[in-house]
Amino acid sequence: MTHGAWPTEGLSFGGDYNPEQWPREIWREDVALMREAGVNLVTLGVFSWGLVEIDDGRFDWEWFDEIVELLHENGIGIDLATPTAAPPSWLLAKHPELLPVDADGHRQAPGGRLGWCPSSPVFRRYAERIADALGERYGKHPAVRMWHVSNELGGGNGRCYCDESAAAFRSWLERKYGGLDELNAAWGTSFWGHRYTDFEQIMPPRGSTAAHSPALQLDFERFSSDELLEHFRAERSVLARHTDRPITTNLMVNTGDVVDYPRWARELPIVANDHYVIGADPHREQELAFADDRMRGIARDRGPWMMMEHSTSAVAWQPVNRAKAPRELLRNSLVHVARGADAAMFFQWRASAAGAEQFHSAMVPHAGRDSKVFREVVELGSALRRLAEVQGSTVERAKVAVLWDTEADWALRRGLKPRRSMSYSDEPRRWHRAFWRRNILVDVVPPWADLDAYDLVVVPTLFLVSDEDAARIAAAAERGATVVVGYLSGIVDPDDRVRLGGYPGAFRELLGVSSEEFFPLMTDEQVELDTGWRVREWSELLTTTDAEVVAGYANGPLSGSPAISRRHTGNGSAWYVSAGLEEDGVAALLDRLIEGTGVAPVLPAAEGVEVVRRVGDAASWLFVVNHGSEDEELTVTGHELLTDEPVDGRLVVPAGEVRVIRE
Amino acid sequence: MTHGAWPTEGLSFGGDYNPEQWPREIWREDVALMREAGVNLVTLGVFSWGLVEIDDGRFDWEWFDEIVELLHENGIGIDLATPTAAPPSWLLAKHPELLPVDADGHRQAPGGRLGWCPSSPVFRRYAERIADALGERYGKHPAVRMWHVSNELGGGNGRCYCDESAAAFRSWLERKYGGLDELNAAWGTSFWGHRYTDFEQIMPPRGSTAAHSPALQLDFERFSSDELLEHFRAERSVLARHTDRPITTNLMVNTGDVVDYPRWARELPIVANDHYVIGADPHREQELAFADDRMRGIARDRGPWMMMEHSTSAVAWQPVNRAKAPRELLRNSLVHVARGADAAMFFQWRASAAGAEQFHSAMVPHAGRDSKVFREVVELGSALRRLAEVQGSTVERAKVAVLWDTEADWALRRGLKPRRSMSYSDEPRRWHRAFWRRNILVDVVPPWADLDAYDLVVVPTLFLVSDEDAARIAAAAERGATVVVGYLSGIVDPDDRVRLGGYPGAFRELLGVSSEEFFPLMTDEQVELDTGWRVREWSELLTTTDAEVVAGYANGPLSGSPAISRRHTGNGSAWYVSAGLEEDGVAALLDRLIEGTGVAPVLPAAEGVEVVRRVGDAASWLFVVNHGSEDEELTVTGHELLTDEPVDGRLVVPAGEVRVIRE
Amino acid sequence: MTHGAWPTEGLSFGGDYNPEQWPREIWREDVALMREAGVNLVTLGVFSWGLVEIDDGRFDWEWFDEIVELLHENGIGIDLATPTAAPPSWLLAKHPELLPVDADGHRQAPGGRLGWCPSSPVFRRYAERIADALGERYGKHPAVRMWHVSNELGGGNGRCYCDESAAAFRSWLERKYGGLDELNAAWGTSFWGHRYTDFEQIMPPRGSTAAHSPALQLDFERFSSDELLEHFRAERSVLARHTDRPITTNLMVNTGDVVDYPRWARELPIVANDHYVIGADPHREQELAFADDRMRGIARDRGPWMMMEHSTSAVAWQPVNRAKAPRELLRNSLVHVARGADAAMFFQWRASAAGAEQFHSAMVPHAGRDSKVFREVVELGSALRRLAEVQGSTVERAKVAVLWDTEADWALRRGLKPRRSMSYSDEPRRWHRAFWRRNILVDVVPPWADLDAYDLVVVPTLFLVSDEDAARIAAAAERGATVVVGYLSGIVDPDDRVRLGGYPGAFRELLGVSSEEFFPLMTDEQVELDTGWRVREWSELLTTTDAEVVAGYANGPLSGSPAISRRHTGNGSAWYVSAGLEEDGVAALLDRLIEGTGVAPVLPAAEGVEVVRRVGDAASWLFVVNHGSEDEELTVTGHELLTDEPVDGRLVVPAGEVRVIRE
């Protein structure tokens, strides 16, 4: 589909709507409040399976028809979900064997969500049947604007270790490798003498504490992602018989991927995300931007994407569920729009009185209409209507790319590593933060992305990389870009085998360095560079073979050795950062990296003020978000859309507020 | 039974006696030492099952007869225990299916205690048989003064998730709800589409990490408590055929209830408690008082209760097993007597050489008779004899009630909550501590208690409350009492459904406030009120609808909003404390709460000196306990019972000592 | 065998060689590099089972023959390993029942190492067959210098709780106790009424959180050790049919024993150890010495032992895998030689590209020959050749013994204890450290060792002790030695029963004290002695009955009571240290203990400089190791072997370096 086929006029606004939790008299109030708030799209049906298919093959459509009509009459579009995230109790009782099994052999108990093994043929059959029934009944209904397959696939059933999964894993391996010789070679099964002589000998990496082969573990991650994607495709095929509306599913791109979202996204006409702020994250404002910049990086043609679920305030599943401060709801939602979301959808419309998520915030809170949250929801609805013209525009093209690869994350996360407490997202987020602090827009893209348009390419902890991707990165430098490779990049190939001859294997030549040995720093250990920058977590014994030394160690066991290097190559340069820099070091290094390049801020602004531009055919819009606690002033000219006032060059953005200027 | 039918003349003194661990020559020494110490009651038989029923239906009474006679001859009363806490090895080998199963499906291994599923009919049959055999043999024996069913029921088998338990749970649910429609409605099973269409679909909340329905979890707690109570009743029925002595069991009222002790207590002629000090508790002196004030609050008619087990010194099951300092044994035991215990019983008489509890302290330690512990045991025995006249008196009526409800504890403890690290006991204990520090006596009572006699009613984190109990609390304010409601009270109804329309649902009208949204504070986050009081852990976005603001936020996201409110209602007032006050704030607030009420200290005393009065028909006794490290002086007149000296108005209580004055 | 029959000329140098991971062209390079480095011994075959026995009973010897010949041609000796640590995939698929089961009933998944139940008769049969095949083929081969049974027995399969193990445990118990009466008496099963009436009722201590009988747990540890030793013996018997070379296995003596190494060592002609530095250990330099001093203490006749595996740099299995600083490789290896190792062997020769240990350092790192690590390996090889004459000499006889007993460790580690966070090794290592800091050599010996030669015997936390060993310790004092007993010694007998009458039971008479009660200190609690020494973790209520008080408590609940005592007995003295002294207290006490004894440093040296002497028939060698960061000077005369220079009385040892002087 093209971007023009967006499911709503203007930006989408609404959320998950679960009317089955409420008596019919509330439905009327719901629709009235939706209209008050300007809701134009709701996701319906996510948790309705057991209420619609009330027994095996027996359906009760009456109430569902009624709610569909009610929404339709009130002009509220429907994002219709197949309800397969939440199988009915009768199904789990009839087929307990479809409940997932964990690595230690415990079969999941009924009572949660997504309680099904992705490789279960029995479940697949039931899922296809309900999808077919829904498609048949509502496939042509004018209120249905798009389809939403299942919900947060992989959240709860991301990995299943049951015998059915084991068999499916073996088939997947046979398809991938062809024969055992190829598999034995790829995995290096000579180690510990594990060589397989029959596919039947291969098991999922059961036993959560065992030291499994890293290659086996990585393939199990890939397999698990593929099985879930296969499930998506199966439901999509069924629906496609009945509808020509876009069929998508909601990803959970945050930090740490359950499945391979960048690869999944290639199959989605509208890329949709569920995003929840982690209250304890000290950099949560930046994390919003980071997740959005990833979404844009994986969306088809970097076009608009959909914020399918976020929260009006606190969630229920964190250790401490931080509420959003007054005005934070509007601010955060508009950050997403600024960075390419053409939607602000929430989980959920009305806060549940009962059930596991009874304390999750909603658009209509327990306190009801007369509440901060609903007032801010109404205000957001109004703001989105004022911004309707932005829909379909694109975010101004970034000149900086930060690479992120889910397979590299998986490879780094599992198996015995030089340092085990590392999170894959730390370095990408640290780099992104330095750019974000200066209002320099970044695309967070997969390593196979087209890098032609970027002046600066940052490659943080790209632990696993293919020869092709490594060559493409090298070509970017050759072409004229500045490429910065971080430590623990290029270490293994796609078979999870170490690239021999010195680290960082795949990038050694590009960088003109060779690292002999990792010197991870102990918890609380710190060393310094001769630039004064502090180093934590990571150092390496580095030799420059064809590069100049930018910084070296001032103390510690590697005192005198190089830590950061630069090599001129073609029209560009390639930097290696072999040390775990703290934020101030990254920021200082950034200054030197962008010197003389075209990389520049969207607009100069004080720390904590975020500026992004969206560009349409006829106009462009500047989004200015003040995350701080003091009012800030910028120089801008245009028309402020939210307050409907002209801006004469001087724009004051009060603390905690957002301004959108048509330039 | 009436309080007069106490099992001993005067106060009871003794402990668990396990002669089966020792050869017969030690028995003679035991009885001689008991006489030396003044022991008048021992609990016999707790761990004797396998030694008496030596094989299925085959009994060896000889040694048991001998020990019963030996005690009888020496004038030592017997609290005869059915031995069902510790099933014989032959029984577990024959019926491994009666071992409990945990939430993750692991069947408990033999080798511990209480290794049986409370819903096992097989175990019930064996338990009834041994109880019957004991009752028949010793039911009329003059040495047997009372009966002790099993031991610490629920300690080790509090929750069982086996199939037998699952079936029993379903039957319990059918009895409770009548039909599935009622259950589906009460639990709100439309959430996640879990609606049940057959009772057979319902499972215990298996899978310890699953996000189960909170209502299901709460009912499973209630069911588990009921099953164990049912077991108690079954053994009691068997014994009642043979004896007219009181039949009770020992509770474990400390912090956090395994079963619903307040409800259980209503069935016990003598309410008995096992209480062990937590060495790492920084407020352990207050905790003694708190647990005792709970015991009194749940005892029938607030009459005397029995300290059935405490320890002479260290226990064995804590991470670090703190020993009691010199003189602490006497001091702690008399705290219990001061607060209504007519007994000081210990686990156990003689320290074991072998077995899991070999390092648990006892009345006769490993070192033997010539030891600090045994000397202090003898001194305690002597003190209890001097205090014999106190038996049967009651603790002076408190004017302050602090409410505690086990169901509220359970509801708060399980399921996804706004803040998960909270302990239910924190707030009740914090409030109690403020009163304890000023020698103001408090009853800790269940929410259904009669509140008529209280001038001040404190309602801390009463998360779950019924309409009836909420109305009774409101009536207390109407009548003239000061009612203080703490945050997270009145949130859910007995079905664990959120009371809609604004928090704190059940108390909103009484308090004249409405809270829209919870703002739990992150770990280490702190904000201040305009009174200067510090707030941690909890805040709320509060509006006063019909109340005056007592204190508001001085900073943080809620700056300027109210935090504490007061409403005058009828002859009394209702305060709401929506913020997590630190100790100093609670203490300062207490000053304002008792202003002008009849609430006052028993006697002014220095910090760390605890004063309680017991009142009998003919006299009253003042217990003064100095927990501090310096001597303290009070103004009292009467006769000091422990030292047999008159007190002329000036009483010096040395550091670490106790004084009891007949007034 | 005699010490003369060492498998190599001079000191052994090499490591685990796993050629199956590499193509044949690498083999040639391997052998060339081995020759360059001076490797004279490699351990072959550890992980080769699945590559040699390629299917049940089907063998592929070709490649193995080839590598054996290649090594032989190049004069490199072979330590030939039976490959039973790593069963082939086909075997685990065929017999999944031989995978171990953990205490909670989870059967280990295939994919790790040592995945077999030590009590499985099926596995034993397969293991014996492959051992027999290897023995038959290479038993007389001249390149094979010694045999290496399996690998790190117990690492991964130290405890198995399966039904097969349960049956074997029962047989072991029947053999040990003869009958149930004896077992019931020894274990004290009257506690909790657990008395067994049939061996079939006895289970391994399943259920990792259950409060099992400590005696049962201790016997299960002994049984598990014995089962693995039995496995060793079975393979050894098979090999002995084919070879007259020494047959040994590699222990893992570090801190905390999986099996009873001191008892195992009695069966080994060459005692061999695998030792890996714990990067986070703040005293890791001393730990090297400690482990070595234990090795020497358990080696037959305290003769040379073999460092079978250590690492050239980082390992892969720690949370942070610290690399060795430049020059640390040589320094650490020579510490082992100084303390009696006649070998410096590594895991492994060439770093793996794939498999679970791909990031474990090796002699040839991923970076290859041109690397710090390989250069230091070559330097080490050269150093070892210069030190060839040292082979066969013994370490100068120590005058101080520190006792260590694996059974005491086990008994302290399991079951409910007065303080649960204690590590058995803490006190032995603290004492050892005080001696190490002053260059006083210590033997760490089992309690049954001959104590005749020692002037000072330290007995730290010897929780369990037999009457015989206690008597031998007392006899040492009688004879004239100074004996120091630490707290928690002599508490239980070999049946794990508390020795009654006062602590420290078995040593009460020797020490002339009686301790009534343990007063473990809470975490972060600290008290002081009247000597000013700080006490943490442990105190006791001590009475001296026939001893003088050396130090008493200055504050805390035991203020005024004795803490350290001394009793003169026969020609010696017996000290009791009942308090948990910090390092400074131990050091100060050490001064007083060695006053007037013959105990003295090998040589006075600055802190951080370690000096040890090895003594041969014709010469002696002084090893001086400077662990510090500054150059140090000592007064020594002789010939420096590593630099081939005479030493004229003034020896400068640069920071981080080692010097070896022929005196």
Q: What is the pLDDT of residue A421?
A: 81
**Closest CB to C356 among A192, A197, A500:** A192
pLDDT at B366 exceeding the cut of 80:
yes
Q: Assign residue C499 the CATH number of its domain.
A: 3.40.50.880
For residues A352-378, average pLDDT: 97
In whole angstroms, how far apart are CA B339 and each of A481, A511, B281, B301?
A: 80, 78, 20, 14
A69 is catalytic: no
Q: Assign residue C315 the CATH number of its domain.
A: 3.20.20.80
| Smallest Cα distance from B56 to chain A, Å | 35
Query: Per the CB < 8 Å rule, is C210 touching B373?
Result: no
B352 lies in some domain: yes
Q: Of the residues C533, C566, C593, which one is the last residue of a structural domain?
A: C593
Q: Cα angle at C492 between C488 and C496, to 5 degrees?
A: 130
How far is C529 from C511, CA to CA, in rounded Å? 20
Which of A156-160, B208-212, C182-186 tops mean pLDDT?
Answer: C182-186
**A128, A152, A285, A407: which is the annotated catalytic residue?**
A152
pLDDT at C4 exceeding the cut of 80:
no
Q: Of the residues B393, B417, B443, which one is the last residue of a structural domain?
A: B393
User: Closest by alpha carbon to C409, among C484, C483, C470, C488?
Assistant: C488
Number of domains chain B is built from? 3
**Closest CB to C195 among B18, B89, B366:** B89
Residues of A whose CB is below 8 A from B197: 54-55, 88-90
**Closest CB to B89 among C188, C201, C214:** C201
B166 lies in some domain: no
Residues of A whose CB is below 8 A from B202: 89
A217 lies in some domain: no
Q: Are residues B468 and B588 in the same domain?
A: yes
Q: Which residues pair with B615 in a beta bridge?
A: B394, B620
Q: What is the DSSP letter of A96?
A: G
Q: Over the stretch A489-515, which tens digit does the pLDDT of each residue have?
A: 999 999 999 999 999 999 999 999 999
Q: Are residues B484 and B383 in the same domain?
A: no
How far is B322 from B329, CA to CA, in rounded Å? 13
The residue type of C433 is R
pLDDT category of residue C3 using cuts at 50, 70 and 90: very low
Q: Are residues C576 and C630 in the same domain?
A: no
How far is C657 from C328, CA to CA, in rounded Å? 8
pLDDT at B113 exceeding the cut of 80:
no
pTM (2 d.p.) = 0.96
What whole-number percentage of chain B has pLDDT above 70?
99
| Smallest Cα distance from C202 to chain B, Å | 8
Element holding C639 (H helix, E strand): strand C637-640
Q: What is the pLDDT of residue C2?
A: 40
| Smallest Cα distance from C470 to chain A, Å | 41
Q: For residue C356, what is the nearest residue in chain A, using CA coordinates?
A: A213
Question: How long, in residues, is chain C?
Answer: 663
A446 lies in some domain: yes
User: Closest by alpha carbon to A462, among A477, A476, A452, A448?
Assistant: A448
Q: Over the stretch B577-632, which tens digit does the pLDDT of each residue have?
A: 999 999 999 999 999 999 989 899 999 999 899 999 999 999 999 999 999 999 99
| Smallest Cα distance from B507 to chain C, Å | 42
Structure tokens at C52: 């040699």
Q: For residue B499, what is the nearest residue in chain A, using CA coordinates?
A: A353
B174 is catalytic: no
Q: Three-state SS for B656?
A: coil
The CB-side HSE value for B284 (13 A sphere, CA atoms) comes to 13
ipTM of the complex: 0.96
pLDDT at C354 exceeding the cut of 80:
yes
What is the span of the domain harbouring residue B315?
12-159+225-393
| Smallest Cα distance from B392 to chain C, Å | 34
**C221, C235, C287, C309: which is the annotated catalytic residue?**
C309
Structure tokens at B522: 């992150």
Q: What is the pLDDT of residue B3?
A: 41
**Closest CB to C353 among A104, A188, A514:** A188
Residues of A whose CB is below 8 A from C50: 193-195
pLDDT category of residue B284 using cuts at 50, 70 and 90: very high
B184 lies in some domain: no
Residue indicated by tokens 């340092």: A419
Q: Three-state SS for A240?
A: helix
Cis peptide before C100 (omega within 30 of 0): no
pLDDT category of residue B120 using cuts at 50, 70 and 90: very high
Q: Are residues C386 and C438 in the same domain?
A: no
Q: Are residues A129 and A261 in the same domain?
A: yes
Q: What is the DSSP letter of C150?
A: S
Q: What count of CB pairs under 8 Å joins B to C?
A: 188
Say if CB C615 and CB C590 are below 8 A apart.
no
Query: Per the CB < 8 Å rule, is A351 touching B197?
Result: no
Which of A192-196, B238-242, C606-610 tops mean pLDDT?
Answer: B238-242
Q: Assign residue B646 the CATH number of its domain.
A: 2.60.40.1180
pLDDT at B514 exceeding the cut of 50:
yes
pLDDT category of residue A3 using cuts at 50, 70 and 90: very low
Q: What is the pLDDT of residue B59?
A: 98
Mutate to test the interface with C, among A106, A169, A194, A213 (most CBs of C within 10 A): A194
Query: Per the CB < 8 Å rule, is A47 touching B190?
Result: yes
Query: Per the CB < 8 Å rule, is C352 touching A215?
Result: no
DSSP notation for B359-410: TS--SB-TT-SSSHHHHHHHHHHHHHHHTGGGTT-EEPPPSEEEE--HHHHH
pLDDT category of residue C48 using cuts at 50, 70 and 90: very high
Q: Are residues C562 and C504 in the same domain?
A: yes
Q: Over the stretch B92-109, which tens digit does the pLDDT of each residue have?
A: 999 999 999 999 999 999
Q: What is the pLDDT of residue B256?
A: 78
Subunits close to C (at least 3 CB pairs below 8 A) = A, B
Q: What is the pLDDT of residue C114?
A: 76
Say if CB C615 and CB C302 are below 8 A apart.
no
Structure tokens at B606: 């220095």
Query: Per the CB < 8 Å rule, is B50 touching C188?
Result: no
C170 lies in some domain: no
pLDDT at B242 exceeding the cut of 60:
yes
Q: Are residues A148 and A250 in the same domain?
A: yes
How far is C159 from C165, CA to CA, in rounded Å? 9
Q: Are residues A427 and A552 in the same domain?
A: yes
How far is C272 from C341, CA to CA, in rounded Å? 9
Q: For residue C17, what is the nearest residue in chain A, using CA coordinates?
A: A191
What whole-number percentage of chain C has pLDDT above 90?
95
Start-to-end Cα distance in chain C: 29
C177 lies in some domain: no
Structure tokens at C461: 């936390």
Q: Over the stretch B184-211, which tens digit does the pLDDT of each residue have?
A: 999 999 999 999 999 999 999 998 878 9
For residues A540-567, average pLDDT: 97
**Closest CB to A216 among C111, C353, C371:** C111
What whole-number percentage of chain B has pLDDT above 90?
95
Element holding A566 (H helix, E strand): strand A562-569
Query: Per the CB < 8 Å rule, is C195 touching B88?
Result: yes
pLDDT at B362 exceeding the cut of 50:
yes
Q: Of the residues B367, B393, B419, which one is the last residue of a structural domain?
A: B393
Q: Over the stretch A436-491, which tens digit does the pLDDT of each residue have?
A: 999 999 999 999 999 999 999 999 999 999 999 999 999 999 999 999 999 999 99
pLDDT at B2 exceeding the cut of 50:
no
pLDDT at A1 exceeding the cut of 50:
no
Average pLDDT, chain A: 96
In whole angstroms, how far apart are CA B613 and each of B289, B380, B396, B603?
A: 13, 20, 6, 10
Q: Are residues A86 and A64 in the same domain?
A: yes
Q: Are residues A21 and A47 in the same domain?
A: yes
Other beta carbons within 10 Å of C653: 21
Give the E-state strand segments of C446-547 in sequence order.
456-459, 482-486, 513-518, 526-528, 534-536, 540-544
B203 lies in some domain: no
Q: For residue B151, what is the nearest residue in chain C, using CA coordinates?
A: C192
pLDDT at A2 exceeding the cut of 50:
no
Whether the CA torsion A275, A276, A278, A284 is positive or negative: it is positive
**A164, A221, A235, A309: which is the annotated catalytic residue?**
A309
For residues A580-584, average pLDDT: 97
In whole angstroms, how far apart are CA A498 and each of A297, A464, A495, B376, C67?
A: 28, 9, 9, 69, 24
Q: Over the stretch C300-309, which tens digit does the pLDDT of each residue have?
A: 777 899 999 9
For residues A257-284, average pLDDT: 96
Q: Are residues C389 and C485 in the same domain?
A: no
Q: Are residues C322 and C428 in the same domain?
A: no
Residue indicated by tokens 């000889």: B62
Q: What is the pLDDT of residue B1?
A: 35
For residues B489-514, average pLDDT: 98
| Smallest Cα distance from C315 to chain A, Å | 8
What whole-number percentage of chain A has pLDDT above 90?
95
For residues C340-353, average pLDDT: 98
